Structure 1
Amino acid sequence: MRFSSALFRRACVPVLSLGLLSIGLAVPAANADTEPSTPAVDAPKSEASAVAEATATAQDVVVDAATSPTSKTTAHPDGTLSTTISNEPVRMKTGEGWTDISTDLVHATVDGVSVLKPENVPVDITVGKGGTSEIASLDDKKGHSITQSWPFGTLPVPVVEGNSATYRQVLPGVDLIQLVHKAGISQVLKIETAEAARDPRVAEMRIFLDSENLVVAQGADGELTGKGTDSGDVELHNTGGLWWDSSAQGATATDPGGQGVSRPFELSLRSEAGKQAQVFGMDEILDTAGLTFPVYVDPDWTFKQPSYVFVDTAYPGTSYWNGNLTDGRMHVGYLPTYWAPDGRTHLARSYFQFDTSYIVGKDILAARLNTVETWSSSCTPANVASWVTGDIGPGTTWNVQPGLIMQTDMGAVAKGYSTACPAGSVGFDLMAAKSILLNKTKWNVMLAAGNESDPLGWKKFQNTADITVTHNVAPNIPVFQSISDGRWFGTPWTDGSRIYTRDKTPSFTVQASDPDSYDGGTLTVQMSVWKNGVWQGADGNFSGVSPGGANVTWQDSPALADGSYTLRAIAKDKWGLTSPLMAVDFTVDTTAPSTPKITPITAPQATVPSYPNGVIGETLFSFKLSSTDAANKADGYIFAIQEGTAAAIYPADLLNCSHTRVREFVVVCPGYGQDTTITITALDEYTSLTVWAFDDAGNIAMPIKGAPAHVKFSVPALQTLPNTQTDFLELELSGAEWIPAKDITTSQCADGKPINAGTTADVLNFPTTGTYADTKAKAGSTVRRAIDPGDGFSVAAWVCPKTTTGLQPLISQLANSSTIAAALRFDGGTYHLGSRLSTGIEERVSTAQLAAGQWTYVTAVYDNINAQLRITTANANQVGDWTIAASPNATHVGTDATQPVRLGQGFAGQIYRPVMTQRVLSEASFGTIQTQYGTTRGLLK
């Protein structure tokens, strides 16, 4: 068959801190959330259900199931969706569901201690409220924590505003400003005057660190890391100390101002008073000529998360990955030496990275990058270009930049210079690179100055950005459902399987659906038939097809000649997006194979095959079935075994290689043109074997090619029941009773005693449904069973039920105290034989409806060789034919010799001459066995 952020940046304003500590989570940002404390009552809204609700209500609906810390998808009434993806987490999951992250400080009590905490962040952060030396503590809720403390006494009560806590005059002329972020905290040391800078405590600035399940160490390059003692991974990462002065206009504790840039200084570790101390290389700062106070000092700890980076010619080998050595802003454009506080020429470009795995496979209708411009060199707009680039990473520097793939937009902007052009949002269209961005799990977008030699092009942007992508998913590939009069050869949808049809103008049914468009009437479907790549002159076009999964049926015309073809189908949505092409091969075949040939393998002894030494139900007879037409051979054969000499009548068009048994009809599929051998046994004195040949299209070698193949053979009936093989098991009565047949009145059974019951015969009477009788073991023996139902057996009795209500067991071979292995029963006017499989399923064959209060002779067999269950009945008014049910080649429940046969228990009425024997008996044999009874009371086995 062919078918065809830094995860946790310095808030929304630059965080220029004495020590930003970000306890890193051990999962990517997209999963860095807090699990709900209680399970949600309703399942998250799926994309399909959200689109359905949006189109029904004409309102946008959020796709809850697609929400993550960095991504949010909304379904629109027109059937499209928009996904907004941030380069860092913007929400987290709580017990109440998804909540926006908030770093605003609120009062809280932790272990009886009053502290400040951010309102809603993914990690556990506490900020000291003064009166102690504790600065802050951070815990990732996974066993890794660190606590900072002030080495110069107690801290004053802070002034709290938003996410900041300012401790004034922690040393003369020095303020400590703490700023809480999404997974960390910054401490900005503000040194107000040169006199304050000369304080020895400032010159030897340090902070004590107390860690749990973390080892804080210094690398050869001066980098500080906190590695988990359990995980062995770096959970905290120090990207280096930063500082800036107030030489640029507008410098604050959170921003070096206008054209200001931050500069690095060294950090180191040492032990002091039994504690680990983070030591600041203050000499580098305080020895700088021409400082403009106040000076801000900020070493930076952060959790590594791929989201942004900028590159700068002033430091061409330096990585600014996720804010490393930056003030939290992204730089773009040209900054000449005479403007730069560090006296260097800068040319910068900024990159953002987004996890776009959710929109892989979607058809993009619109895509836009949005961020905030925080500063420009003037209010005169200068061009900024957006580019799609290769991947960025920790190794991205000016010297090692990703390749530029395509420019997508150019816009002249100027925001953040003054109140005349305040900071604000800017956006860049990404659609020019649609073909490049499709199916990418990460998008990398660069912002660069339109003119990289123009000083007015120097700009700063937030290190947070998002992309909004409006998308639509192509319709699903149509699903083949059926072809009229179609049949499979082989296992459907596997290599080598084929579909055949006898219909020259077949009808085809396919199912069309669209995973993201549920507003109804949005799909069109086209079907066509091709042969060897050539269109066959007709196709079916359907519009207004419901995209929720609708079946479309098309009848091909004109008629197709015998041969192989391909059905093609496509679906298109209202946006013009087309599904993949469905291509299903099929074959038209209207020619039946010829009548097969039957060859007896066991040589017969007469023209009409006769086997005088055979035994009905036991002797095996083998026949070879073969094709007789070399040009049109059979793929399989259907045969039927029935008593008598007449050929069987074909059971209608319902058998194939996947549907192998119905009643006496059996399918064998040896493969195209191959012979096969079947082994059967006789059903009666005369047995007929009827065989049809068929092909994979379902063409039968009859009536198109004439009569089916038919043979009959004979086996002497009486030889099946030698008298020496009969035996009786006596019965142990539990409420049942023996009564003379002559005493049975018409009030008990409408027709009195059973047919041919003599005046001395006894009948087993069951006065109520709770009475029964079990077979007993003979003296010196433990054998109580009559049969092992795993092999072929027969059961018979004259039965007269009082009522036709409910299930009434008559003769049951027990497997154990709670399981019946095989049973003859009366059920609502129908006699049936049931035999239990080892799987627990019971196979059954039933007769037609009969009346209560009437004697009926019931005979039934399980023919394990021919895999049939058979049952028939006779009474004073009629003699029935065998009713046959197929029995698969499965294991039937067996039983050990100590298990009894139970008569009754649930049955009310009479049973006369019960039989259960390990033989497959014919009609004549059942009659013969009745003569073995005489006046004996018991079960004949």
Structure 2
Amino acid sequence: MVEDVQAARQFAAECGKSVEVLSERSETTQVFVDASGVGRLVSSVVPQRVHRPDGSWADVDTTLRRVRDGFAPVATTADLTFSGGGWGPLVTWREAGSTFELRWPGVLPAPRIAGDTAIYDGVLPGVNLHVIAGRDGFRHVLEVLTPEAAAGPAVRQVRYGLGGDMRVTRTADGGLDLAGAGGEPLLQASPAVMWDSSLSADAVQPAATGSGTESSVAASTADAGDGGDLVSTARGPGEVASSAAVGVAVSTGDLVLTPDTAMLSAPASVFPLFIDPAFSKQRSKWAYATSNGENNDTTYARVGLSPDSGARYRSYFSFDTSAMSGKTVLTAEVQMKLYHSWSCDPTWVHLYRTSSWSTASGGRMSWTAHPLGSAATWLDSWAGNANKTGGCGSTQPDASAVFEGSTLLNDVKAQVLSSSSYWVGLCACNPTD
């Protein structure tokens, strides 16, 4: 790698290989120049690397390590510390000179550390608390082990303390916005949801394709997150888990979560139950929409029909293309990783270019805000399947979805002339819908 484009061209020509332009590197983008002098931009919707204070770069590594005040991820875009136990904050987040603290209303036990997760056992009778480091934030999840635990008043209304100097406000859809002293937006939390551990194969139905959040667009100027498990865990619901919205309120320095009473007490609920919100710092990178307006966890992007609720899902992605400004685009493609599909056979998904949008990363937008089908610009289609249940005769591996072709190329060429971002949407709808 070299510092500027001109030096990269010279070095690539002399060495006969592709060279990265270091000055163009960001948390989500890289620019390379090949031996012929042609450049290539790779842009992702989730952070791939971290720029450290000493100027060096490191690949994202969410593994927790011991630090003076507790535990912290090795390398992420969020400056986080998780409690090592005791009365201190459960989570401390420092961002742009401001601090956010999330507190558990009691003494925390020393956590068990499992990779990127700190697990505080027995914070309430029959309840464990998981705190999970992500690429750009964290999620805190209560694991309710039994119906008896679910009946407790401290589970029926969960109260976390808020500290630090960030101002926390509730959004209209039940999420949270966190702002610095000057009112500048710094962090956000997605609407809270809860899910059970249902495994009934009878609930599975052939449906449209689901897609992982790890997405990238690559263009020549001449990789959300991993998929979740199929069995419910603190990371997200299983394939056929029941889910419900969780009430969120901010009151006198507290974050108050009110889980769905019906799910807590329903005989059909399969334990353990999980109750979460997730905090992140990234904005305008990806979002989803549901036909019935339901919220869901943001473990991975969804496309198609939910076998649980029957809702239709669409996912939207925003790519930074500023490095292509003023360049002649020769090729373009959008790549997605399909982690799991509910269908055993290939199903079609369609990629569209949308107008610009802005929402919290992983946030939900209105179903009608950016319609796809005939209301958007069709770019390409792809069919595939990756069913992990084993009910198809065997477990199917991940599939790489690649969208390309002249329609996409011509659209990228036109868009980079007037915009530094490229917005697309993915759906299981027909182009005429």
2:384 equivalent in structure 1: 412
**Counterpart amino acid of 2:41?**
T
The TM-score with structure 2 as length reference comes to: 0.81
Q: 1:391 aligns with which of 348, 351, 356?
A: 356
Q: What are the ranges of 5 or more consecutive residues in structure 1 without an aligned counterpart?
A: 1-42, 319-323, 453-941
Quickly say closer, same or farther: Cα 1:380–1:201, change in 2 above 3 A. Answer: same
CA distance in 2, matches of 1:168, 1:387: 45
**Counterpart amino acid of 2:18?**
D
1:185 equivalent in structure 2: 138
Judge conservation of contact 1:382–1:414 (CA < 8 Å) in 2.
no
CA distance in 2, matches of 1:220, 1:59: 51
| Structure exhibiting the larger radius of gyration computed from Cα positions | 1
CA distance in 2, matches of 1:151, 1:182: 27
CA distance in 2, matches of 1:131, 1:65: 44
Answering whether residue 89 of structure 2 is matched by residue 118 of structure 1, we say: no
Quickly say closer, same or farther: Cα 1:168–1:207, change in 2 above 3 A. Answer: same
1:444 equivalent in structure 2: 423
CA distance in 2, matches of 1:353, 1:222: 23
Q: 1:368 aligns with which of 327, 333, 342?
A: 333
The TM-score with structure 1 as length reference comes to: 0.39
Quickly say closer, same or farther: Cα 1:163–1:425, change in 2 above 3 A. Answer: farther
Answering whether residue 190 of structure 2 is matched by residue 239 of structure 1, we say: yes
Answering whether residue 256 of structure 2 is matched by residue 279 of structure 1, we say: yes
2:23 equivalent in structure 1: 65
1:198 equivalent in structure 2: 151
CA distance in 1, matches of 2:139, 2:32: 35
> Does the residue aligned with 1:330 lie in a helix, a strand or coil?
coil
Judge conservation of contact 1:409–1:430 (CA < 8 Å) in 2.
no
2:32 equivalent in structure 1: 74
Q: In proportion to residue count, which structure has more strand?
A: 1
**Counterpart amino acid of 1:310?**
Y
Cα distance per residue 1:248-269 (max 9 Å; x no partner) = 4611111211144743221123
Q: 1:99 aligns with which of 49, 55, 58?
A: 58
Quickly say closer, same or farther: Cα 1:216–1:441, change in 2 above 3 A. Answer: closer
CA shift at 1:116, angstroms?
0.7
Q: 2:180 aligns with which of 216, 219, 228?
A: 228
Judge conservation of contact 2:31–2:40 (CA < 8 Å) in 1.
yes
**Counterpart amino acid of 1:266?**
G
2:212 equivalent in structure 1: none
Answering whether residue 25 of structure 2 is matched by residue 53 of structure 1, we say: no
CA distance in 1, matches of 2:348, 2:114: 36
Judge conservation of contact 1:133–1:151 (CA < 8 Å) in 2.
no
> Does the residue aligned with 1:364 lie in a helix, a strand or coil?
coil
Q: What are the ranges of 5 or more consecutive residues in structure 2 without an aligned counterpart?
A: 200-229
Alignment root-mean-square deviation, CA: 2.6
Quickly say closer, same or farther: Cα 1:217–1:307, change in 2 above 3 A. Answer: closer
> Does the residue aligned with 2:85 lie in a helix, a strand or coil?
coil
> Does the residue aligned with 1:240 lie in a helix, a strand or coil?
coil
1:347 equivalent in structure 2: 312
Cα distance per residue 1:744-783 (max 9 Å; x no partner) = xxxxxxxxxxxxxxxxxxxxxxxxxxxxxxxxxxxxxxxx
CA distance in 1, matches of 2:25, 2:231: 38
Q: 2:278 aligns with which of 294, 297, 300?
A: 300
Number of positions where the alignment pairs a residue of Structure 1 with one of Structure 2: 385
CA shift at 1:219, angstroms?
5.9
Cα distance per residue 1:265-319 (max 9 Å; x no partner) = 2112334xxxx2211113534255622211100123333510112222122xx6x
1:144 equivalent in structure 2: 98
Quickly say closer, same or farther: Cα 1:270–1:66, change in 2 above 3 A. Answer: closer
CA shift at 1:117, angstroms?
1.0
Quickly say closer, same or farther: Cα 1:451–1:219, change in 2 above 3 A. Answer: closer
CA distance in 2, matches of 1:184, 1:330: 17
Quickly say closer, same or farther: Cα 1:368–1:218, change in 2 above 3 A. Answer: closer
CA distance in 2, matches of 1:361, 1:218: 41
Percent identical among aligned pairs is 26
CA distance in 2, matches of 1:49, 1:357: 20
CA distance in 1, matches of 2:241, 2:403: 26
2:213 equivalent in structure 1: none
> Does the residue aligned with 1:348 lie in a helix, a strand or coil?
strand
Cα distance per residue 1:370-420 (max 9 Å; x no partner) = 222222113322222222233233384212225411232323333544462
Cα distance per residue 1:851-907 (max 9 Å; x no partner) = xxxxxxxxxxxxxxxxxxxxxxxxxxxxxxxxxxxxxxxxxxxxxxxxxxxxxxxxx
CA shift at 1:155, angstroms?
1.9
Cα distance per residue 1:553-610 (max 9 Å; x no partner) = xxxxxxxxxxxxxxxxxxxxxxxxxxxxxxxxxxxxxxxxxxxxxxxxxxxxxxxxxx
CA distance in 1, matches of 2:384, 2:76: 36
CA distance in 1, matches of 2:155, 2:235: 20
1:808 equivalent in structure 2: none
> Does the residue aligned with 2:249 lie in a helix, a strand or coil?
strand
Quickly say closer, same or farther: Cα 1:428–1:238, change in 2 above 3 A. Answer: same
Quickly say closer, same or farther: Cα 1:89–1:431, change in 2 above 3 A. Answer: farther
1:169 equivalent in structure 2: 122
CA distance in 2, matches of 1:430, 1:256: 35
CA distance in 2, matches of 1:215, 1:96: 30
1:647 equivalent in structure 2: none
CA distance in 2, matches of 1:220, 1:433: 35
Judge conservation of contact 1:410–1:450 (CA < 8 Å) in 2.
no
Task: Return the structure number with greater relative CO, CA threshold 8 A, min gap 6.
Answer: 2
Answering whether residue 407 of structure 2 is matched by residue 432 of structure 1, we say: yes
- 5 Å matches for 1:490-569? none
Quickly say closer, same or farther: Cα 1:309–1:404, change in 2 above 3 A. Answer: same
Bigger shift: residues 380-389 or 418-427: 418-427
Judge conservation of contact 2:157–2:259 (CA < 8 Å) in 1.
yes
